[in-house]
A = this chain, B = another copy of it.
């Protein structure tokens, strides 16, 4: 059980996620760890470019590096994403509220229609 409770910088996490290539790297790592070179092959940019992306991902603790022989395996670390998830929490209420409002609106429309079909207007 990993003990050290690291604090993740939201700034580093979000800016790491801001780049499409880096998000794609993470997507790739969802299917398992891979050595740097193989990751690089999956992208149209040069290997050093990927190397720099990996550095940023490392800095944001979104991946972990593990050296084995002359390979460096990269593995997804979802921890900082948990932080993003809980940051989002405060905002979920908004689209939930919107949904609730939409639901209310639709129901009100329905109410109105059925009231009109009965030739009766409901105003409360």
Contacts and interface: CB of A to CB of B under 8 A. Distances in A.
B102 A78 contact: no
Number of this chain's copies in the complex: 2
A25 to B, nearest CB: 13
A68 interface: no
A87 B17 CA distance: 11
Contacts of A94: 30, 76, 78, 81
Contact of A30 (B11, B78, B90): B90
A9 to B, nearest CB: 9
A98 B27 CA distance: 18
A14 B17 contact: yes
A85 B81 contact: no
A37 to B, nearest CB: 24
Question: When A and B form their complex, which 8 residue pairs have the shortest distance between CB atoms, in order from nearest?
Answer: A78-B94, A15-B18, A14-B18, A14-B17, A81-B91, A78-B95, A82-B95, A78-B91
Interface of A: 1, 10-11, 14-15, 17-20, 23, 26-27, 30, 76, 78-79, 81-82, 84-85, 87-88, 90-92, 94-95, 98, 102, 105
